[in-house]
Amino acid sequence: MCGIVGYIGPADSVPILVDGLTRLEYRGYDSAGVAVLQDSRLEIRRHTGRLSNLEASMQQAPLTGSVGIGHTRWATHGAPSEKNAHPHTDSTGRIAVVHNGIIENYQALRNELAARGHRFLSETDTEVIPHLIEDELAAGAASMLEAIRRALARTRGAYALGIVSLDEPETLYAARLGSPLIAGVGDGELYIASDVPAILNRTRQVVYLGDGQIATLRREGLELVDMAGKPVAAEVQTVELEAEAAERAGFETFMLKEIHEQPRVLRTLLNLHLGNGQQDTPEILGFDADYWRSLRRIMAISCGTAYHAAMYGRLLLEGLTGLAVETDLGSEFRYSNRKIDPATLVLAVSQSGETADTLASVRMAHERGCRLLSICNVAGSSLVRESDHVLYTHAGPEIGVASTKAYTAQLMALALLALAVGRVRGDIAPELADEMISDLRAVPDAIHYVLNRAEIIREIAEKHHDGPSSLYLGRRYNFPTALEGALKNKEISYQHAEAYAAGEMKHGPIALINEYLPVICICTRTRDEVYEKTISNVREVEARGGRIIAIATDGDTEVADIAEDTIYVPQTRDEFSPMVNVVALQLLAYYAAQARGTDIDKPRNLAKSVTVE
Active site residues: 2, 608
| Residue of 262, 350, 495, 537 interacting with ligand F6R (CB under 6 A) | 350
Minimum CB separation from ligand F6R for residue 258, in Å?
A: 11
Check residue 358 for interaction with ligand F6R (CB under 6 A). Answer: yes
For strands 67-73 and 221-226, give the pairing: unpaired
Check residue 451 for interaction with ligand F6R (CB under 6 A). Answer: no
Collapse the DSSP code of 8 into the 3-class scheme (helix H, G, I; strand E, B; otherwise coil) and give the result: strand
| Residue of 48, 179, 327, 355 interacting with ligand F6R (CB under 6 A) | 355
* Residues 596 and 465: beta-carbon distance below 8 Å: yes
Minimum CB separation from ligand F6R for residue 397, in Å?
A: 12
Stretch in the footprint of ligand F6R (CB under 6 A) among 48-56, 292-300, 346-354, 568-576: 346-354
Q: How many residues bind ligand F6R (CB under 6 A)?
A: 14
Q: Alpha-carbon distance 115 to 168, whole Å?
A: 28
| Residue of 13, 38, 403, 408 interacting with ligand F6R (CB under 6 A) | 403
Check residue 304 for interaction with ligand F6R (CB under 6 A). Answer: yes
- Judged by beta carbon, residue 224 or residue 306, the one nearer ligand F6R is 306
Beta-strand (E) ranges in 275-402?
A: 297-302, 324-329, 344-350, 371-376, 389-392
At residue 203, φ and ψ (nearest 5 deg) are -160, 150
Check residue 306 for interaction with ligand F6R (CB under 6 A). Answer: yes
Minimum CB separation from ligand F6R for residue 399, in Å?
A: 12
Minimum CB separation from ligand F6R for residue 488, in Å?
A: 7
Q: Alpha-carbon distance 60 to 53, whole Å?
A: 11
Beta-strand (E) ranges in 480-546?
A: 496-501, 518-522
- Judged by beta carbon, residue 321 or residue 355, the one nearer ligand F6R is 355
- Judged by beta carbon, residue 553 or residue 594, the one nearer ligand F6R is 594
Check residue 303 for interaction with ligand F6R (CB under 6 A). Answer: yes
Q: How far lies 143's CA from each of 6, 149, 150, 436, in Å?
A: 21, 10, 11, 46
Across-strand partners of 7? 68, 191
Minimum CB separation from ligand F6R for residue 361, in Å?
A: 11
Check residue 447 for interaction with ligand F6R (CB under 6 A). Answer: no
Beta-strand (E) ranges in 432-505?
A: 469-474, 496-501
Q: Alpha-carbon distance 43 to 187, whole Å?
A: 26
**Residues between 488 and 517 with contacts to ligand F6R, criterion CB under 6 A:** 491
Check residue 327 for interaction with ligand F6R (CB under 6 A). Answer: no
Q: Alpha-carbon distance 117 to 499, whole Å?
A: 60
Check residue 381 for interaction with ligand F6R (CB under 6 A). Answer: no
Stretch in the footprint of ligand F6R (CB under 6 A) among 81-89, 174-182, 286-294, 351-359: 351-359
Q: Alpha-carbon distance 31 to 320, whole Å?
A: 40
Give DSSP secondary structure letters for 567-604.
Answer: EEE----GGGHHHHHHHHHHHHHHHHHHHHT--SSS-T
Q: Name residues whose C-beta falls within 8 Å of residue 514's C-beta, 6 or more positions apart in sequence.
A: 544, 545, 546
Stretch in the footprint of ligand F6R (CB under 6 A) among 44-52, 302-310, 431-439, 583-591: 302-310
Stretch in the footprint of ligand F6R (CB under 6 A) among 7-15, 163-171, 345-353, 560-568: 345-353
Q: Alpha-carbon distance 195 to 249, whole Å?
A: 8
| Residue of 31, 352, 495, 537 interacting with ligand F6R (CB under 6 A) | 352
Which chain residues interact with ligand F6R by CB under 6 A?
303-306, 350-352, 355, 358, 402-403, 491, 609-610
